[in-house]
A and B are shown apart, each in its own frame.
Chain A
């Protein structure tokens, strides 16, 4: 049993380490193994290769891993904290809020007003993620306030409030895009499909800090989150401040998801699917689950991104489309298995 567990961890670790390394070899520009080794060791012969490697390919692989890891850890946390296997970072209105923020930014920047002010196009690159982040935080606060004031803070009600707020905010942003400029609508629609194409190395390091920091804190919370699995009353008798623990975990997950979504757009189903697999494979307790999710989620997203970059020549498929397609098929399979 214990030897078996050890073997599973080793396999997972190998998968997680090999994925980013191997994926460095895939991309629009072909870099040979020699060139890559040279670049890594800091003695790249061709400065163009060096730039391609360090400014484009490396940050992209790193962001891919972090996005997969972050969304999976957030999903796992939300599921354990709400005792609901279907909870997902997206259920709490984060994506809809980010979408609204992005829509507002896109419309303002494409309006005649922006042209009159002479805003540079680069403003768009910063304004869109920033306003998406603000929108995501707004949505989370709204869900929390609704769930607490009107529904007495019960978990199921928090999920329902999240779904309601999601629809409300999507309706709002769709209406804005409907009445607004078609070019802006186009930008937002592509943003919602999710992509890692925009990443830059500064963002990669910021995201690294956010994902590592949040995962570390959640890891420390692990045993307390486990105590919630047998019910709030049970956790309280073990000395856990249930309301605090749940609120803090939700906020951390919201921040984590917002940091990812605001930059990379809508990448669905990862936070739902990966924790399911890890739970079956390694167990349900939070610490095991979080580390397992970080590794497997990273592995999964790196390969999805490789597929997105290479499946069609000359253009990229938005990653959100791929994750949603895989995720929905996966769910149907799980349901079939359960019935059998």
Chain B
């Protein structure tokens, strides 16, 4: 597997994209205790587009997101707007890249407004004051994500979808042109899944943000993402426009579940899975015998 995927899978468009890419990775490799997590990743993420990162558990999605946001240092080069990430001072980087990690609740009950206000921090030094304009900006961001009426509620009392939107509002206040979200629709019901992705999509289109999210649901990816990166075992199996990456043989191989992709000229692609029940059956009988 380490040798990479056969050439037939590699219809990546990195060559074309990287020239215009706002975020650019060249030969990025990352290991923990000599165990390779990512191997020779070279990718470009175009400005103002919605990018999805897909792949089975343990493919290296979260690690990749941590590297492109400067939370992890890897071998190779990661450039944002032509400058290596390591050249940015922490506070400056926070003005360029906003991150929404998987939700971490606080023991102390912060209100939604207080959480969003944190987003101003990269623009403040120790002596800065928080002005009326700042407060207006915070309320506007809460309004943008549809939480205007929940500003004074405690963050921990919000639903999963509301917490996610609250953190997106914080990222908006940060004013960063690049937004990176790690599994933003995990644990959310269908309604909120669509609501969050729709919000992010409109941020791309209306405010020209570059958005990178990791996702598990291939149908959601097909519906919202402009570009996709498909990963497995720390390698990029395919990357490029969504319609190109979503291909039956490739997906069946990577996710180990046979599937069919229905492309249509008018609608987004739809992926249908046919889980290998016979295989599961064999595994569960074995469990019975063992016990």
**Surface stretch bound by A, among B48-56, B115-123, B207-215, B225-233:** B115-123
Q: CA–CA, A223 to B99, complex, Å?
A: 18
B149-191 interface mask toward A, CB cutoff 8 Å, 1 = contact, 0 = none? Answer: 0001000000000000000000000100000000000000000
A238, B106: Cβ atoms under 8 Å?
no
The smallest C-beta distance from A244 to any residue of chain B, in angstroms, reads: 10
Q: CA–CA, A52 to B90, complex, Å?
A: 56
Q: CA–CA, A230 to B110, complex, Å?
A: 9
B121, A279: Cβ atoms under 8 Å?
no
A203 contacts the other chain (CB 8 A): no
B94, A238: Cβ atoms under 8 Å?
yes
Q: CA–CA, A195 to B89, complex, Å?
A: 48
The number of chain B residues with a CB under 8 A from chain A is 35
Which of chain A's residues have a CB closer than 8 A to the CB of B126?
A: 220-221
B104, A85: Cβ atoms under 8 Å?
no
Which of chain B's residues have a CB closer than 8 A to the CB of A221?
A: 126
Q: CA–CA, A230 to B166, complex, Å?
A: 13
B109 contacts the other chain (CB 8 A): yes
Q: CA–CA, A84 to B98, complex, Å?
A: 27
Which of chain A's residues have a CB closer than 8 A to the CB of B130?
A: 223
User: In residues 67-97 of chain B, which contact A (Cβ within 8 Å)?
Assistant: 69, 71, 89-95, 97
A240 contacts the other chain (CB 8 A): yes
B104, A230: Cβ atoms under 8 Å?
yes
The smallest C-beta distance from B130 to any residue of chain A, in angstroms, reads: 8
Q: CA–CA, A17 to B153, complex, Å?
A: 32
The smallest C-beta distance from B132 to any residue of chain A, in angstroms, reads: 13
The smallest C-beta distance from A76 to any residue of chain B, in angstroms, reads: 11
Q: CA–CA, A83 to B110, complex, Å?
A: 12
B104, A226: Cβ atoms under 8 Å?
no
Cross-chain contact of B118 among A84, A236, A238 (Cβ < 8 A): A238
Q: CA–CA, A84 to B108, complex, Å?
A: 9
- Chain A residue nearest to B171 (CB atoms) is A237
User: In residues 221-241 of chain A, which contact B (Cβ within 8 Å)?
Assistant: 221, 223-224, 226-227, 229-231, 233-234, 236-241
Which of chain A's residues have a CB closer than 8 A to the CB of B89?
A: 239
The smallest C-beta distance from A89 to any residue of chain B, in angstroms, reads: 18
Cross-chain contact of B127 among A220, A283, A284 (Cβ < 8 A): A220
B114, A285: Cβ atoms under 8 Å?
yes
The smallest C-beta distance from B254 to any residue of chain A, in angstroms, reads: 28
Q: Given A226-B114, A227-B121, A233-B101, A279 and B94 touching (CB < 8 A)?
A: no
Cross-chain contact of B104 among A79, A231, A240, A283 (Cβ < 8 A): A231
A80 contacts the other chain (CB 8 A): yes
Which of chain B's residues have a CB closer than 8 A to the CB of A230?
A: 104-106, 110, 115, 118
Q: CA–CA, A177 to B99, complex, Å?
A: 55
The number of chain A residues with a CB under 8 A from chain B is 27
B108, A237: Cβ atoms under 8 Å?
no
A236, B71: Cβ atoms under 8 Å?
yes
B101, A239: Cβ atoms under 8 Å?
no
A229, B106: Cβ atoms under 8 Å?
yes
Cross-chain contact of A239 among B117, B121, B127, B152 (Cβ < 8 A): B121
Cross-chain contact of B90 among A1, A234, A240 (Cβ < 8 A): A240
Q: Given A1-B152, A237-B69, A239-B93, A223 and B118 touching (CB < 8 A)?
A: yes
Which of chain A's residues have a CB closer than 8 A to the CB of B115?
A: 230
B118, A85: Cβ atoms under 8 Å?
no
Q: CA–CA, A224 to B108, complex, Å?
A: 15
Q: CA–CA, A240 to B99, complex, Å?
A: 13
- Chain A residue nearest to B154 (CB atoms) is A284
- Chain B residue nearest to A84 (CB atoms) is B107
Q: CA–CA, A54 to B150, complex, Å?
A: 53
Which of chain B's residues have a CB closer than 8 A to the CB of A80?
A: 108
Q: Which positions in A face B, CB cutoff 8 Å?
A: 1, 79-80, 83-85, 220-221, 223-224, 226-227, 229-231, 233-234, 236-241, 279, 283-285
- Top 10 closest pairs, chain A to chain B, by CB: A239-B94, A239-B91, A237-B99, A231-B104, A284-B108, A239-B122, A239-B90, A220-B126, A229-B106, A238-B121
24 contacts between A and B (CB under 8 A): A1-B152, A83-B106, A85-B107, A85-B108, A223-B118, A223-B130, A224-B121, A226-B110, A226-B114, A230-B105, A230-B106, A230-B110, A230-B115, A231-B101, A231-B106, A234-B101, A237-B69, A237-B99, A238-B119, A238-B122, A239-B90, A239-B121, A239-B122, A284-B108
